[in-house]
Amino acid sequence: MSYQILASVCQHPIRASSSLPYSGSNLDFDVRYCPSCSASRSVRQERDTTEQRYRQDRDLQELFPESDRTTARESRREYDRSRLAYQEDLDYQQDRQDRERRAAGRPTMREEGRQFAGLDDPEYLDFRRQMNGYGRTTRIAEPEPERHRSESQYRDQREYLRTSRRYEPGRYADRSGSGYYDTSDPYRRR
Ligand SMILES: [Zn+2]
């Protein structure tokens, strides 16, 4: 009789054995992660470490802008490299999970999500299609007609100068003669 022994935390298979570990179950409590999960963990750790170093070097560079940039540039490169490796590892983990679930005859997380949302149910899709057009109206705003003065009515720049003899007070200009509005009493009619 052969047992499949699993890592105790990630619960991935790590070996086949004719006897169970001392736990009495398939779980080997001396091994927390399978080789693949261990690798993923160190990839993530590497990213965290390089990110920290990158931030420190960047802050130093900002404090002492005249100092040599080689270190800051190098740690930035390291950080970028490890971030990429981390992203690739996430993709790999996702892919691995999909394969495991398919092998076990279960849908992937993504497929399960689609099923849950009813996105694969033709009846529901039909209903959605009908609802999409329901109660929808299109409203187009009439553009306001633009109002321009005719070319001949444009005022000469100099007419805006109060000291000019040709000055003509505009619609909102003060006509009291004082040259300004007294706004101390908001209720007084002007
Ligand atoms: Zn694992």
pLDDT: is 82 or 22 the higher one?
82
On average, the pLDDT of the chain sits at: 84
Structure token digits, residue 16: 């086949």
pLDDT score recorded for residue 56: 95
15-19, 100-104, 156-160, 174-178: least confidently modelled range? 156-160
Most confident region among 4-18, 111-125, 171-185 by mean pLDDT: 4-18
The answer to whether the beta carbons of residues 3 and 17 sit under 8 Å apart is: yes
Helix (H, G, I), strand (E, B) or coil at 108: coil
Q: For residues 73 and 77, give the distance between their C-alpha atoms in angstroms, rounded to a whole number.
A: 6
Q: Residue 180: what pLDDT?
A: 73
CA of 41 to the centre of ligand 1 (A): 10
Predicted local distance difference test score (pLDDT) of residue 129: 77
Q: Tell whether pTM > 0.75.
A: no
**Residue of 14, 25, 16, 18 whose CA lies nearest to 1:** 18
Check residue 146 and give its pLDDT. 75
pLDDT at site 189: 63
Band of pLDDT at residue 64, cut at 50, 70 and 90: very high
Helix%, strand%, coil% for the chain, nearest 5: 45, 5, 45
The rounded Å distance from CA 11 to ligand 1 centre is 6
pLDDT for the residue 176: 75
- For 130-153, write each residue's pLDDT tens digit: 777 666 666 667 777 777 777 667
For residue 132, the CA-to-ligand 1 centroid distance in Å is 44
- Does 178 have pLDDT greater than 90? no
Burial 174-189 (b: 16+ CB within 10 A, else e): eeeeeeeeeeeeeeee
CA 3/CA 185 separation, integer angstroms: 93
Angle formed at CA 54 by CA 50 and CA 57, multiple of 5 degrees: 140
List beta partners, residue 181: none
Best CA proximity match to 79, nearest among 60, 55, 103: 55
Which residues share a beta bridge with 28?
7
The CA 171 to ligand 1 mean position distance, Å, reads 79
Q: Distance, CA 38 to ligand 1 centroid (Å)?
A: 7
